[in-house]
Amino acid sequence: MRALVKTAAGPGLELIDIPEPVPGPGEVKVRVLRAGLCGTDLHIESWDDWAAGMLKPPLTVGHEFYGEIVELGEGVASGGGKYDLQVGLRVSAEGHVICGRCRNCRAGRQHMCVQTSNLGVNRDGAFADYVVLPATNVWVQPDDIDADLGAVFDPLGNAVHTALSFPMSGDDVLITGAGPIGVMATAIARHIGARYIVVTDVSDHRLGLAQAAGADRVVNVARDRIRPVQEELGMAEGFDVGLEMSGFPTALAEMIENATHGAKIAMLGLPKEPFAIDWGHVITRMITIKGIYGREMYDTWYRMTFMLQTSQVLRERIRSVITHRFPAEQWADAFAAARSGEVGKVIMDWSS
């Protein structure tokens, strides 16, 4: 089968033929139809310090995908029960494979597993014709979730997990970072009833995507500041909720500066290195800051599926994040587009 593989330590990937994987006990084999590019994949391709410390080549990369179950491993329930898996079902998958034995796993906090193995990072991933993974990680998709939408469920889950960390119905929301996850978080915030949504970035292209997804105002912080927009919208006391998606220290600093007393901030963006913030401001304004990683297993998956099922508008807004599509053979063009920064989500088609 075809697979996009990190064959050795160093920059680059190779599209090569490798043997098809065989599902072991408790696993399923999925034929990949669509796969989404993530910032993680770009780090792996360029072989930065993070990738060098995480990967052990050779390894098939990729973790965001949608496909069809083609084989069930031994012990996977298939007797026709309500929750049984069947060959032919269309699925997405949770890319964090948990240990099931640590304190968090045993306490029902699987998304906080201290021994998580990541699809496409620590085990062979989904940039291939077929991928094998635990049956418990498979998420069966309803008919109204098409292949493109199904391929972005992993990053959509990040957006939903972040946006639902704090109540925001009727609140004013600031989202810093208009990458694909920030844009999807904008659509979710609009769907669940935020009053005003302001989104910041340094790319006018990406800010345009955020506006189409439901932002009331967008601010290019390379040119302008947030405060005048806040005043224009009549938010004298500042934002109630902040979603930090960029990983830039200046974004968090400006978010704190424009937050109201008692504001809640959820942080998904990963900074490249440690940085200082004004803790006096955080303390005296009683601001809550919460770190977010991945998706809650599997509450987030239920919530994003059900929200999409209830709203054609939300489905279209999430789908609008996908701006580029490439056949798998043009993977290098797909990676180049993703690196340009002037895109939304990039999808590769593995169906042919």
Give the active site residues.
40, 43
Sequential DSSP letters for 240-253 = EEEEE-S--HHHHH
User: What are the residues facing 133 on neighbouring strands?
Assistant: 28
Burial 60-77 (b: 16+ CB within 10 A, else e): bbbbbbbbbbebbbeebe
Euclidean distance between CA atoms 347 and 255, whole angstroms: 31
How does strand 138-140 pair with strand 130-134?
unpaired
Q: Is the peptide bond before 298 cis (omega within 30 degrees of 0)?
A: yes
CA distance 242 to 115: 30
Say which DSSP state 29 is in.
E
Task: Tell me the Cα Rg of the chain.
Answer: 20
- Cis peptide bond N-terminal to 249, omega within 30: no
